[in-house]
Amino acid sequence: MTTDDLGRYEVKTDKPIWGDYKGYQLASMPPPSSGGVFMLQILKKILDHFNLSQYDPKSFEKYQLLAETMHLSYADRAAYAGDPEFVDVPLKGLLDDDYISKKSFSHSIRSNEQKPEEGDPWAYEDEKKNPSPIVPQPEDKTIGETTHFTVADQWGNVVSFTTTIEQLFGTGILVPEYGFFLNNELTDFDARPGGANEVQPNKRPLSSMTPTIIFKDNEPVMTVGSPGGTTIIASVSQTILNLLEYDMELQDAVEEPRIYTNSPTSYRYEVGVPLDVRTKLNDMVTVLAVHLLI
């Protein structure tokens, strides 16, 4: 990296990605973050096809439904998400109601026998454009360290802000006299080349940041966001579901224990997920990853 590289860097201002859920409007981060689109995809799967609130918030049925919904969305994320300045991303198809309906029921919601495959959102685009090859990636990436905060002022302005230097202290290199660490965001690119998120010069790596503002009748009523690398999408989705499906108070919705899984072979859960739920999940998989999600 040279000073010329830094001089050519430009901050981009993009329009948020929007979705609706139970009469609320959600504005979230667009690509090259995968957060907004796949958070909305998870919510649309839940809302359109399953009555989540019929289950107790700490029941195995609720957690299994969330888990298998995550499997479907994370399969699409791995296949299609990348920097739209370099690759075509099928945003319309990924959030198309017919596509989500077809994909939700192409995989049994009661079977974890095999990992779900990505769907074909390109079939729901107005034009095919130029799909990237799908390249399987290793699943042992270390989860990063990220910071999220929300600010609201007396005039009703609201900011949902997520920032990251990837893993703890980034590269570990502190810039002398300036007091900040250099990031190691290159680890957010795919480890194997050829796919939508492969390494390229001047390309932004895929992120999972999901800063979200929720509106009711065109007025902001709450914001959600989280640290946690790829777990961010799952954490934000579950917090929103706790608020809008279970009518929890905001503090309770944030503190309700969450799970994360992008594969039927591994689950992560927060302290507070009931023992019987963890036991049943353990019976379904070959590996149970015990991890405290922040």
Question: What amino acid positions are annotated as catalytic residues?
Answer: 146
- DSSP β-bridge partners for residue 216: 219
State how far the Cα of 51 lies from the Cα of 131, in Å rounded to an integer.
34
- DSSP β-bridge partners for residue 181: 174
DSSP 204: P
- DSSP β-bridge partners for residue 263: 266
Q: Taking a C-beta distance cutoff of 8 angstroms, is the pair 72, 103 a contact?
A: yes
State how far the Cα of 189 lies from the Cα of 204, in Å rounded to an integer.
8
Sequence-ordered list of residues with C-beta below 8 angstroms from that of 82, at least 6 positions apart, any chain: 31, 32, 89, 132, 195, 196, 197, 206
Q: Taking a C-beta distance cutoff of 8 angstroms, is the pair 211, 223 a contact?
A: yes
Strands (DSSP E) contained in the chain are 17-21, 24-28, 146-152, 158-164, 212-216, 219-224, 259-263, 266-269
State how far the Cα of 46 lies from the Cα of 241, in Å rounded to an integer.
9
